[in-house]
Amino acid sequence: MRELIDLLDDPTVRGWIEQRRSGPPAPAPVMAADDPGLVSMYATARLMTVKRHLLGLSSALPRVPDELHRAGSVLMLEQRDRGLVRLSPLIAGFALLGLGCELLVWRATGRVRTRLIDARPETVNDRLRLIWRRFMLAAGLVLAFALGSVGSFLAFDWPPLLRTLVLGYLIAFLAVRLALVLGRFLLAPKVERFRIVPVTTSLARFWYRRLALIVGWFAFGYITVEQLEVLGVSLEARQIIGYALGLGLLALGLESVWRSPRSEDEPGGHGGAWLLSGCLVGLWLLWVAQAMAVFWLVVVGVALPKAMELTRRSVRHVLRPSDTGDTAEAPSPGVPGVTAVILERGARAVVLIGAALLLSRAWNIDLIELSSRDTTPTRLLRGVLNASLIVLVADLAWHVAKAVIDGKLAQPRELGDPDGEEARRLSRLRTLLPILRNMLFITVVVVAGLMVLSAMGVEIAPLIAGAGVVGVAIGFGAQTLVKDIISGMFYLLDDAFRVGEYIQSGSYKGTVESFSLRSVKLRHHRGPLYTVPFGDLGAVQNMSRDWVIDKLSINVPYDTDLAAVKKIIKRIGAELASDPEFAPHVIETLKMQGVEQFGDFAIQIRMKMMTKPGEQFVIRRRAYASIKTAFEQNGIHFAFPTVHVSGGSPGAPAEVENAVGHVGLELVRPPAAAP
């Protein structure tokens, strides 16, 4: 019987039997002169294949009971007339043994599970460590079931047919356990804070049960169809049984789509359910029609965007800021962290690579054999695959580098002392990092582009040589541009200015807002924005470094007590230095330097103070106001210019004041003429 079954499994014998059943082969169709083209040929051939396949299924349908009966007879003979009576307890026993091993691991890790349940992650890193521990625990449970069931079964010597049957169903049990453990790890239907996929509790519980049911139905159905081949059931009968089991899987899918809990603000509503239901029905029809290439293309086309969106949402949910504790480690809005970029881009790359491998397997593309062939189509396909891999790696590298640079730029500007070494370092980084980011982007794009061209079979050595020649020609033709770029590099290397500093160069002055490779943007204090090429800057006056000395001058009459003035100014300087508003910005307080010069109508007194850059204007205004108030309280006046006009006899002068600004006009009446 075994030899007969092996003989019936021979493809040559099966082909001969099918040829005898279907009669002489039909003659090949002759192409007409007005054939519509290659697409019509393929469609006609595809329809004929589907028709033959459906006719073969309809002819094999009456034989299914007989073939199943014959398979049962083979099983009874193999198992010494006990068949399923011996097989079922054996499968159940090893499955229970696997569950027992899993239970032992579950009890042994009781303390670990208690600590995990009681854990309250306060930071993103704490949450990631908690997820990693839960993953290791879940992997340990699955491994314990696999060792207890499949491992213990393989430790004994079994008859070949019994070994194949039992091992297949044990693997199906392992698939169900894996689905349950993975669903509990990702969805956490009981503990919401452990949930990785951002869904509601009702939705998590629903899909936790449905995914286990769908995986179990598929695993046991697939193993059953495979075992029927071992028992000698024909291909058509196995396909009919598989399509019937597929109807059950389709029913589970439709039930899950329509009974899945939905939030009120979920987009799509019943329209999305109808669309997804039609997609599931269409996939089942494509499977029955043996259009597997289109089937897997539709599966990837529908599932890939959903998987990428779900991956992105899950990563952002895992890396969300904590409700309590320090959230400094969480990525700030609009500035993704390095961990978020690695997880999101890495997961997306894994999903894309998995989809590509699935399509290659579905379309019978042997990647190993493809790499050894040297035909034009294989070279093109191999180049596309290599280019896709290069683009994914370059995308990951660029976004990681960009996240690092943006994280440095997003750090708070005020860290302790604004004039401290750390603040200066961060200011310098904010100046240099945008230029470094632009240069890094250009480098990644150019290198990735050259690698992609090389992977596609393009010889890049002449291209690189030609680019060098073109670069030299452009350098000679764009000397101003090269001058601006090189000048900007040296300005930055010399640390001449940074973002946020106030500089002046010629007729341009303002606060440095940003850089590019060839120019700097200066915001004038009145609003205008200057874009100045580096080559036009020349000497730069930086007004925002370290400290500034502000000079103040006042005019007092010649009869003023200078000692009293000095005491008053000293007292005002002490008040400014002790004022909480100005004290952090005063380096050397206001003091009187002495008499600067003797004027025509007053003595000019010079004062000075040292403050932090940009703060001298407010302090100067407060100092002038305090000086005026103090002078009024002490009877000291400010000098202003006057004009004296005198003549005639010494009589009582009649003063006439003409108040024009601060100028006083004093007229002295001339003496009367002698008689």
pLDDT at 319 over 70: yes
Query: What DSSP letter does each residue of 421-441 carry, written as one string?
Result: HHHHHHHHHHHHHHHHHHHHH
pLDDT at 108 over 80: yes
443 or 331, which is more confident? Answer: 443
Residue labelled with tokens 């059931």: 233
Q: State the pLDDT at residue 322.
A: 60
Give the burial class of 418: count Cβ atoms within 10 A of its Cβ; 0-12 exposed, 13-18 middle, 19 or more buried: middle
pLDDT at 42 over 70: no
Across the range 135-163, mean pLDDT stands at: 87
102 C-beta neighbours (distance < 10 Å), count: 22
Task: Set out the domains of the chain in order of their start, with CATH numbers.
Answer: 1-22+38-261 (no CATH), 548-640 (3.30.70.100), 642-675 (no CATH)
Please provide the average confidence, as pLDDT, over all residues in the chain. Answer: 78
**CA 459 distance to own-chain centroid:** 34
Pick from 409-413, 487-491, 567-571: least confident: 409-413
Q: Among candidates 563, 567, 583, which has minimal Cα distance to 575?
A: 583
Q: State the pLDDT at residue 289.
A: 82
pLDDT at 327 over 50: no
* Pair type for strands 508-515 and 603-611: unpaired
Q: Find all residues with CB under 8 Å of 621, minimum gap 6, and list them.
A: none
Question: Which amino acid is it at 154?
Answer: L
pLDDT in tens, 246-295: 999 999 989 988 888 865 445 445 667 888 888 889 888 888 887 888 88
What are the phi and psi torsion angles at 14 (to 5°)?
A: -60, -45
Q: State the pLDDT at residue 85.
A: 55
- Tell me how many degrees the CA angle 569-575-578 measures, rounded to the nearest 5: 145
Pick from 78-92, 148-162, 287-301: least confident: 78-92
* Pair type for strands 586-598 and 603-611: antiparallel
Most confident listed range (110-119, 239-248, 340-349): 239-248
d(CA 172, CA 30): 49
User: What band does 104 get if pLDDT is binned at 50, 70 and 90?
Assistant: very high
Q: State the pLDDT at residue 654.
A: 44
Most confident listed range (330-344, 435-449, 475-489): 435-449
Across the range 80-94, mean pLDDT stands at: 69
Most confident listed range (124-128, 235-239, 328-332): 235-239
Q: Contact at 8 Å (CB) between 557 and 603? A: yes
Q: Contact at 8 Å (CB) between 357 and 298? A: no
SS3 state of residue 130: helix
d(CA 621, CA 551): 12
pLDDT in tens, 404-422: 887 777 765 554 555 555 6
380 or 336, which is more confident? Answer: 380
Kindly state the percentage of the chain with pLDDT values over 90. Answer: 6
Most confident listed range (27-31, 32-36, 51-55, 305-309): 305-309
pLDDT in tens, 199-224: 888 888 999 999 999 999 999 999 98
Q: Contact at 8 Å (CB) between 553 and 592? A: no
What are the phi and psi torsion angles at 264 (to 5°)?
A: -65, -30
Q: Among candidates 315, 308, 322, which has minimal Cα distance to 339?
A: 315
- The residues with which 532 forms a beta bridge, in sequence order, are 520
Kindly state the percentage of the chain with pLDDT values over 70. Answer: 77
Give the burial class of 521: count Cβ atoms within 10 A of its Cβ; 0-12 exposed, 13-18 middle, 19 or more buried: middle
d(CA 474, CA 284): 60
d(CA 502, CA 491): 15
Across the range 127-140, mean pLDDT stands at: 87
pLDDT at 660 over 50: no
User: What band does 332 get if pLDDT is binned at 50, 70 and 90?
Assistant: very low
pLDDT in tens, 600-640: 888 888 998 988 887 888 888 989 898 889 888 888 888 88
Q: Contact at 8 Å (CB) between 220 and 95? A: no
DSSP 660: B
H/E segment holding residue 645: strand 642-645
80 C-beta neighbours (distance < 10 Å), count: 8
Q: State the pLDDT at residue 101.
A: 92
Q: Contact at 8 Å (CB) between 636 and 556? A: yes
Q: Find all residues with CB under 8 Å of 194, minimum gap 6, and list them.
A: 130, 134, 188
Give the burial class of 151: count Cβ atoms within 10 A of its Cβ; 0-12 exposed, 13-18 middle, 19 or more buried: middle
Q: Find all residues with CB under 8 Å of 50, minimum gap 6, and list them.
A: 289, 290, 291
d(CA 368, CA 582): 74
